[in-house]
Amino acid sequence: MRSWKAARPTSCWRPCSTAWTRRAFDGPGPTNVRLPLIPSRATLWTVAAAGGAAIVALVAGVPYDTVVKAAIAAAIVGTLWALVDIMRSMVAWRHMPLVWKRRMPAALALGVQHNLACALVNEGPNTWQVELFDHVDPSLDFEGLPLKVLVPAQARTEVHYLIVPRMRGPVSFEPAELRVRTLHGTFEWVRRVGEKESLRVYPNFAAVSRYAWLASDRRLADIGIKSYAQRGAGTDFKQLADYQVGDAIRHIDWKATLKHSRPIVRQFQDERDQCVMFLLDCGRRMRADEGPASRNGSHFDEALNAMMLLAYVALKEGDEVGAMTFGTDASDMRRFAPRKGNAALNGLMATLYDVQPKATHSDYLLAARDLMRVQHKRALIVVLTNFRDEDARELEPALQLLRSRHLVLLASLRERVLREMAEQPLDTHRQVVEVAGAHLFAQTRSDAFQKLAGRDGLLIDVEPAHLPAELVNRYRAVKRAGLL
C-alpha cells in the first residue's frame, strides 16, 4: 500500500489550486449566477479532430473558401449543441441535484485507520458522471481520493475512502467538491455538495481495550502486567466464600462455618476509595517523536495513552482519578477533579483529548504548588514527564513539596533513539564517538534520575512502548503494599 502522504492526489485535477474551483455554485438558488465551465476531454478531442480534418482538406487541394465555410458551419453546430447540453444540464441539476451524505463514526482514534462510508444520492431521472473530492481535515491522512463515480438515475451510490488521524483534537469535513459532466458530455463544472461536519480524534484506546479483554481471562502477563489481585489478599473485607485448598486458616469465619455446617472464609480486597492524581507535562520535552517506529505519535501521546490505561485500572479498583496539566500557558491548562465511576474515564478523556504539547519550559515547582493548593486529600501523584539531567535542580524541590503530603510516582520517558545509537556497531570513527556519547548521556541522566528517588523510590524510566505496563505494575504494587 502506498504511504498515506503519497496517496494525496497528484493528477492534473487539484481541487485547491485550479481556476475551476471558484465557489460560484454552492447550491441551487437565485444567487448562483456564474458557471465556471471546463471543456470535457471529448470536446477537446472533437475540436482537435475538426482542425486536423481542415488541415488535411487544405493539403488535399480543397478550396480554401469551402474549408472555411465548413469549419464555420461545424463551429455553429457544435456551439449550439454545447449550449443546448449546458442549458439542459443546468435545468436538470437545479431541479434535482445530487445529495452528498457521510456516515460519520461517533469518534476517531489516533493512528487508527478508518474506512469512511459516504453516498451520492440521485433522486432525479438523469444519470450523472462526476469526479469527487471530499475536503477532509488537513490533520487526516487519506487514500482513495479523488473518485470517479457514475451515479445512475434514482439511485444511491456508495463510495468509500480511508482516513488515518495524525493529531488529536477536533477535525472538520468541509463540503465535498464535484466535477460534474454535462448530460451529453460537452463540458464540466464544479459544484459543492454536502454540509460541514465535525468529529473528535481521541487517544488510541487499544491498550485499554486489550487490558479489559485480557483481564477477563487473567492473561495480563501477555501485555507485561505482572501482578493480579489474589483471593484473600488486601485489607478491605469483600465477601464470604466457601473454603478452598490454599485459603489461610486465619481467615475462616467460625460463626458462618457453624451456621452453614461447612468451612466459610472471609475474602479481602485492596483498599478502595483512594485517589490517583496525574500531573501531565505539556512542555517542549514531551514533543519528542520516535518517528515511523511509533504508531502512537509523540511522547506526549504515548504518555496520554498510558495515563488512560492506568485511569481505567484505578477506576476498576474503586479509586478516584484526576489530572492536571502543566508546562504550558495558563489559559491552556486543564484540570480534572478526582472522581469515581465509569463516567470518570469519559470525562477525563473529554478534558484532555485535544491537549497538545507546546514549545515551552515546564516549571515543576509551580506545578507542584498548584497541585498542593487544590489536592488536600492524600493521593498517589503520578508525574508524567521526559526527564533530562539538567532538570534535577528544578524537579527535586517540586518532588519534596509533593512528598510532604502525597505519595509520588515519577514516570519518565526515555528516547528509543539513544538505545539504538548506543547499540550500533563500531565500524567507523563517527560511530565510536556516537556510541560513547550515547553511553555518557545515558549514565549522566540515570545518575541524576536516581538521586530523585527519595525514601519511597517510586521511579519509572522506560521507553514509551513499555510505559503503560510499568505504570499499572507500580500502581498495583503500591496498592498491595498499602503505601497509601
Domain C-terminal end among 202, 235, 266: 202
Cell digits of residue 258 = 457453624
Average pLDDT, the chain: 79
Confidence of residue 10 (pLDDT cuts 50, 70, 90): very low
301 to 19, 171, 384, 470: CA distances (angstroms): 40, 17, 11, 16
Report the C-alpha gap between 464 and 307 in whole angstroms: 12
Q: What pLDDT does residue 218 have?
A: 52
* CB 110 within 8 Å of CB 201: yes
Q: Quick one: which of 409, 414, 391 has its CA closest to 302?
A: 414
Instruction: State mean pLDDT over 370-398.
Output: 88
Task: Give per-residue pLDDT as tens, 261-271.
Answer: 888 887 665 56
Question: Would 338 be classed as within a structural domain?
Answer: yes
Residues 193 and 77 in one domain: yes
Maximal CA-CA distance, the chain: 125
Q: What pLDDT does residue 287 have?
A: 82
165: pLDDT strictly greater than 70:
yes
Report the C-alpha gap between 484 and 480 in whole angstroms: 10
Q: Which residues of 303-341 are buried (b: 16+ CB within 10 A; e: fewer)?
A: bbbbbbbbbbbbbebebbbbbbbbbbeeeeebebebeee
Percent of the chain with pLDDT over 70: 82
71 to 65, 78, 86, 202, 246: CA distances (angstroms): 10, 10, 22, 63, 103
Question: Would 449 be classed as within a structural domain?
Answer: yes
Report the C-alpha gap between 286 and 386 in whole angstroms: 6
Task: Give per-residue pLDDT as tens, 192-210.
Answer: 988 999 988 888 776 566 6
Dihedral in degrees, nearest 10, Cα atoms 52, 55, 56, 59: -160
Q: Which residues of 96-121 are buried (b: 16+ CB within 10 A; e: fewer)?
A: bbbebebeeeeebbbbeeeebebbbb
Report the C-alpha gap between 171 and 142 in whole angstroms: 13
* CB 223 within 8 Å of CB 469: yes
Amino acid identity, position 135? H
Report the C-alpha gap between 348 and 468 in whole angstroms: 17
Question: Would 246 be classed as within a structural domain?
Answer: no
Question: Would 248 be classed as within a structural domain?
Answer: no
Q: Which of 78-87, 164-173, 349-358, 445-454 has the lowest mean pLDDT?
A: 445-454
254 to 23, 99, 232, 257, 267: CA distances (angstroms): 83, 74, 16, 5, 14
Residues 187 and 301 in one domain: no
* Entry pTM: 0.67
At 471 the three-state DSSP class reads helix
| Domain encompassing residue 68 | 5-28+36-202
Helices (H), 178-272: 206-216, 254-260
Dihedral in degrees, nearest 10, Cα atoms 421, 424, 426, 430: -40
Amino acid identity, position 71? A
Q: What pLDDT does residue 271 have?
A: 62
Residues 452 and 321 in one domain: yes
Helices and strands, counts by H and E, the chain:
11, 20
Task: Give per-residue pLDDT as tens, 423-471.
Answer: 788 888 888 888 888 788 778 877 777 787 765 668 888 888 888 888 8
Report the C-alpha gap between 253 and 240 in whole angstroms: 8
Q: What pLDDT does residue 251 have?
A: 73
Q: What pLDDT does residue 197 have?
A: 92
Residues 414 and 317 in one domain: yes
Question: Would 245 be classed as within a structural domain?
Answer: no
Question: Would 63 be classed as within a structural domain?
Answer: yes
* Burial classification of residue 243, based on how many CB atoms lie within 10 Å of its CB (0-12 exposed, 13-18 middle, 19 or more buried): middle
Q: What pLDDT does residue 235 have?
A: 55
Q: What pLDDT does residue 278 have?
A: 94
Q: Residue 58 is part of a domain; what is its CATH number?
A: 2.60.40.10
Pairing type for strands 380-385 and 275-281 reads parallel
Question: Would 197 be classed as within a structural domain?
Answer: yes
11: pLDDT strictly greater than 60:
no
Task: Give per-residue pLDDT as tens, 409-428.
Answer: 999 888 877 777 777 888 88
Q: Residue 378 is part of a domain; what is its CATH number?
A: 3.40.50.410
Length of the chain: 484
Q: What pLDDT does residue 60 have?
A: 83
* CB 112 within 8 Å of CB 164: yes
Residues 315 and 464 in one domain: yes
Cα 316 off chain centre by:
25
Own/partner contacts of 286-291, CB < 8 Å, gap of 24 or more, are 286/327, 286/357, 286/385, 286/386, 286/413, 287/357, 287/359, 288/386, 288/413, 288/415, 290/415, 290/416, 290/417, 290/464
Residues 289 and 168 in one domain: no
Residues 283 and 428 in one domain: yes
Q: Which contiguous run of DSSP H or E holds residue 267?
A: strand 264-269
Confidence of residue 7 (pLDDT cuts 50, 70, 90): very low
Task: Give per-residue pLDDT as tens, 87-142.
Answer: 988 898 888 899 999 998 888 888 888 899 999 999 989 999 999 999 999 989 99
| Domain total in the chain | 2
Question: Would 214 be classed as within a structural domain?
Answer: no
227 to 218, 219, 235: CA distances (angstroms): 10, 11, 17
Report the C-alpha gap between 207 and 184 in whole angstroms: 55
Task: Give per-residue pLDDT as tens, 32-50.
Answer: 434 578 888 888 888 888 8
Domain C-terminal end among 202, 219, 239: 202
375: pLDDT strictly greater than 60:
yes
Domain C-terminal end among 152, 186, 202: 202
